[in-house]
Structures are given as C-alpha cells and as structure tokens.
C-alpha cells in the first residue's frame, strides 16, 4: 500500500544520505522524495512516498525514528491530509494540436509558461490523480520532456506536524 510520510530533520549535511542509505540498505522503496528548509533554517522537512505492507511500513517508520538526525516522523496515511505535486511538461504543439493543448491546460487550471516554435511548456499543480489524468491526455500529443517535483503533503486541520501524534 502507498504511504505518504512526512519528516522533520536536522538541516545538516549528510541527512539525506542517511535516509537514502537507510532505504537502500534495507530494501525499502522510495517512490518520490522532496526536501526543503522550514521557517527554522536549522530544520528541514521531507515528504517521502513509499510502498509496502503493514509490516514493512512499520519498520520504515521505526527505522526512520531511530536515525538520530530525524526529529519527527508522521505517516499521513492515518490522517486526513492534502498532497500536491508540481510538474513542468514540454509538449509538442502543432497547428492541429495547439488549440486542444490550451483547452486541456485550461480545464486543469494549468499555465503555459513558455512557448517555443513547436512546443508549449506547461506548469501544473495537483494531486497524483490530477497529474496522471493530465499526462494521459497530453501523452498522445507528444511529450518532449517532463520534470516533477515529487509530492509535498500536509495534514488537514489546524494542527501542525509537530503537534501530531
């Protein structure tokens, strides 16, 4: 099953290597990972999307907690949460497809942020389903390049991650 895990970590060199090494060394899978500083420059937040049965996920969470540079680990799958990803996609735009691409982008509330002689570069934000749906529509038209940020996620409601149990 797919799990979205959010972490608070010490913002020091080697933390990402510790986490990546833990996943590779123990054979856990990382679907995507994003990391950036929080308001407190000494702390970073990470979102990891991983898959595994209950026993594996239990180990993932415990092993993450065991790392000394990790301050807090929350598996959002038990919570109500929102997640977003941003993608940039360069798609072929011909006489015939230009209109259709713009229509699709509009429906998905995306933006064309660059125009080439034969391409549009589109920015779009959304959850996994929305992104997948968009890509499946653009694919037949010819995707030249795709860059994804990886998921970021946050629990719903007024509690901060530090207040979750």
Partner 1 sequence: MKKTGSQIIVECLKKEGVDTLFNYPGGAVLPLFDELSSAPFHQVLVRHEQAAVHAADGYARASGKVGVVVVTSGPGATNTVTGIATAYMDSIPIVILTGQIPTSLIGNDAFQEADIVGITRPCTKHNYLVKELKDLSRILKEAFYIARSGRPGPVLVDLPKDILVDSAEFKYPEKVSIRGYRPTLEGHPGQIQRAIHLILKSKRPLLYVGGGVISSNASKELFHLSEKLGIPVTMTLMGLGGFPGNHPLSLGMLGMHGTYRANMAVMESDLLIAVGARFDDRVTGKLESFAPQARVIHIDIDPTSISKNVRVDLPIVGDCKRILSKILSLLEKEETPSFRGGLHKWHRQIESWKAIYDMNYQQEQIIKPQYVIEKMDELTGGEAILTTEVGQNQMWAAQYYKYLKPRTFLTSGGLGTMGYGLPAAIGAQVAFPNRLVIGISGDGSFQMNSQELATAVQYRLPIKVAILNNGYLGMVRQWQEFFYGKRYASSSLEGISPDFVKLAEAYGAVGLRATKPEEVVPVLKKAFSIPEPVVIDFVIDPEENVYPMVPAGEPLNQMRLV
Contacts with partner 1 by CB under 8 A lie at: 9-10, 13-14, 17-18, 21-22, 25, 55, 58-59, 62-63, 65-71
The string over 89-107, giving b where at least 16 C-beta atoms fall within 10 Å of a residue's C-beta and e elsewhere, is bbbbbeeebeeebeebbee
In angstroms, rounded to a whole number, what is the distance separating the alpha carbons of residues 21 and 18?
A: 5
Task: Find the shortest distance in angstroms from Cβ 55 to partner 1.
Answer: 7
Task: Find the shortest distance in angstroms from Cβ 159 to partner 1.
Answer: 19
Of 147, 160, 165, the closest CA to residue 38 belongs to 160
Cβ proximity to partner 1: between 59 and 94 the closer is: 59
Cβ proximity to partner 1: between 29 and 94 the closer is: 29
Task: Find the shortest distance in angstroms from Cβ 71 to partner 1.
Answer: 5
Cβ proximity to partner 1: between 39 and 68 the closer is: 68
Interacting residues of 145 by C-beta distance below 8 A, sequence separation 6+: 89, 90
Task: Find the shortest distance in angstroms from Cβ 6 to partner 1.
Answer: 15
In angstroms, rounded to a whole number, what is the distance separating the alpha carbons of residues 151 and 128?
A: 8
């Amino acid at each position: 099953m797919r799990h979205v895990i959010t972490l608070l970590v010490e913002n020091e060199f080697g933390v990402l290597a510790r986490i990546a090494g833990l996943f590779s060394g123990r054979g856990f899978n990382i679907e995507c990972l994003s990391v950036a500083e929080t308001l407190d420059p000494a702390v970073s937040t990470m979102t990891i999307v991983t898959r595994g049965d209950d026993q594996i996920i239990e180990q993932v969470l415990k092993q993450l907690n065991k790392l000394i540079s990790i301050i807090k680990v929350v598996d959002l799958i038990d919570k109500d949460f929102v997640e977003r990803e941003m993608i940039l996609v360069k798609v072929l735009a011909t006489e015939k497809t230009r209109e259709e691409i713009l229509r699709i982008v509009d429906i998905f509330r995306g933006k064309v942020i660059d125009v080439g002689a034969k391409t549009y570069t589109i920015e779009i934000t959304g959850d996994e389903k929305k992104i997948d749906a968009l890509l499946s529509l653009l694919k037949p038209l010819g995707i030249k390049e795709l860059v994804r940020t990886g998921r970021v996620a946050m629990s719903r409601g007024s509690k901060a991650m530090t207040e979750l149990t």
